[in-house]
Structure 1
Amino acid sequence: MTSAQTLERREVNAPVTDFDPYSDAVLDNPYPHYEMLRELGPVFYLSRYDAYGIARHSEIDAVLRDPVTFCSSAGVGLANFHTTEPWRKPSIILEVDPPMHARTRKVVGGLLAPANINKLRPTFERQAELLVDQILEKGRFDAVEDLCEAYPLKVFADAVGIPTEGREQYLLPYGDMVFNAFGPVNERFEACFARLQGGASDWIAEVCKRENLTPDGFGAQLYKAADEGLLAPEEAPMLVRTLLSAGLDTTVFTLCNAILSFSRHPDQWALVHANPALARQALEEVLRYESTFHSFYRTTTRAVEVAGVPMGNEQKICVFIGSANRDPRRWGETADRFDVSRRAAGNLAFGTGIHGCAGQMIARLEGEIVLTALARRVRQIHLEGPPVIHYNNSVRGYTSMPVSVTAA
């Protein structure tokens, strides 16, 4: 239900909607709802959450590229950290503004630079081949558990350098909580927070300690940066935690979205199978077409106008990444078509600007390697039953996805 009325009490000079982006019905299939939001106008007001929203590519790109006016230190979720105590200590890279952001981002960005992560390629490729061996032997399997979760839980967690024991039990539930916290304190948030009390927070804190990390992983390198004075001693474990919360769930869901997209569009998989060198380009189209991140927030630092709509200081703005990546104003009449021949550069799946995902290069590396390994040895991917959506307030993926594969 939408309305173009102005809320005089709030002095809202924008279309008003009671749309709930966090409802199960919306998460089941958000794209018709995103079309509705884009057609409301460049800016609208989410009356349920006292937040403005933007769903078109150009406005979202502009907001994300202006960290001075639209800050992250108030939190990148609905809660305002300037007025509300967060459930955990804010991330010192994701939820901070310049100049502190530049300092920590430089350390993490250097750690995850192409020159460093490309050293991991042989190890990542071997693990991908092993997993493809296993799924071909099975023939029919759960793509979520046996591939999309198994791969990053092995290669990325190994790269960070955390212990093996406890990964399956604790890592994904912790990330699930982090991303649920970007939305409202709803039943989904509360249920996830209750599950987290079963030991995930304590486990995360323990494995992020220096003595529990392998000597050559990303985690140990962050502690070395602290030794060199590039970070404060207490910042190293916080950044290890950030790597673990930001680098796993999103990659898992991206792989889920890739498998589902190709199972539903066998003609597109045929193109990648015929030319595995298309894997990287195909991954970009997956990121655009089925965005892992669907929404997060920025907060105004002053009175400002966005697309002619005045907003006050400390105003939350929801940016609908999943909508921007299907906006026909940016992608043309085929915006809702999955097309691996498309040049999908400019998609906002990893954000943009100074807060663009620091780990996007390693996430892309993982996705490219898995799709390449599959393309070389798998001729067809069949969906054998309805996939089960994993409901989360900010990211979209799956809990289960029964598939079968046909060897090349």
Structure 2
Amino acid sequence: MRTLLKNGKINVAKNQLQTADIWIEEDTIHAIGLAFEEKNFDQVIDLQGQLVTPGLVDVHVHFREPGFTYKETIKTGSMAAARGGFTSVCAMPNLNPVPDSVENFELVQDIIKKDAVVKVHQYASITKKLKSEELTDQVALKQAGAFAFTNDGVGVQTAGTMYLAMKEAAKNKMAIVAHTEDESLLFGGVMHAGKRAAELGLPGILSATESSQIARDLILAEETGVHYHVCHVSTKESVRIIREAKKAGVHVTCEVCPHHLLLTDMDIPEDHGFWKMNPPLRASEDQKALIEGLLDGTIDCISTDHAPHGHEEKCQSFLKAPFGIVGSEYAFQLIYTHFVKTNIFTLEQVINWMATKPAEIFNLPAGKLQIGAKADLAVFNLEQAYQVNDQAFLSQGKNTPFVGWKLYGDTSYTFVDGKLVWKKDGK
């Protein structure tokens, strides 16, 4: 099968675009150039000047299957990812059963092979059942297909357990990926401990809940030599200590989410569960530090932490609703509209943070728009505005405060291994 994507635009430097045609041969980018003979192709798609990028890579999604399919399934989650221009995603292990054994891991893998429309890389858990102190068999899980280990959703509470996990992961050349949250510092908090929490009469989550565990883990990562990756960084203290650890030579990488870059706790209008996420929306000085952290290289990539929930359970008070926000279907668009169009970030930087760099961090075969690479591509319409519409989501989750926002860069096409998996206005 030969496909020609003609009249596309590719980013060549900063915000500079260049017209190019892309020749896809089966599952591979065969050539990039101009004026290919259309008669030589089985399929020709005129992109009419729209942006073509490497397929986006999201290292942090929750697909909820098995165990919580009323929230999301691998099929609907991967469709949502494709809708957002993501062609590779990394799925968290807070499932039932937890992928903490080869048997449980293969159960998830079987569903992925059957239902996923994008490439789904499955995390295995660090410990049994996520909350125990018993380590999983990393060697066996790596052989079964796990690419990294995490207990995302909860922090590893015991330093000794984390040390042993890191030591084993370093030996096996695997990454430890951490949701950092010291539960002894939670004190029942449900949103950031600040002025807005006091106004709403809600218990706050200290910044130290996150940053203190990062500090502990960075010392352990230095001791063991492991690749340590921090999930959804949200505080200025976290950025500061990660920056210093990188300067000291610790092998640490980290991610930030669009909602933490765009919103603060003072944007929360009412006590409603759609605004409840973990980590919570922080203060303006934290938001500023996150943006600075991206720009100076302290923060390596942007992930979504796509976390769908049932509608009724999210339409409750902060005190009762679960943590989480969906993000797969509009993440690039949020960043493009509010940071590229306003000249805070360049398009080149955003493509790096959302495609190239996350693939490099975990050695994934993705994030490249070059001859010989897999034809994992996304096409975005940068000119036409649209509104975020939760009723059009392919995800089962509708839990987001971004509904109604005017954005640019809607996804027109997504290709995985040269196959069209998403097309706007009809598949």
What TM-score do the two structures reach when normalised by structure 2? 0.25
User: Which structure features the higher share of helix residues?
Assistant: 1
Q: Which has the higher contact order (CA 8 A, sep 6+)?
A: 1
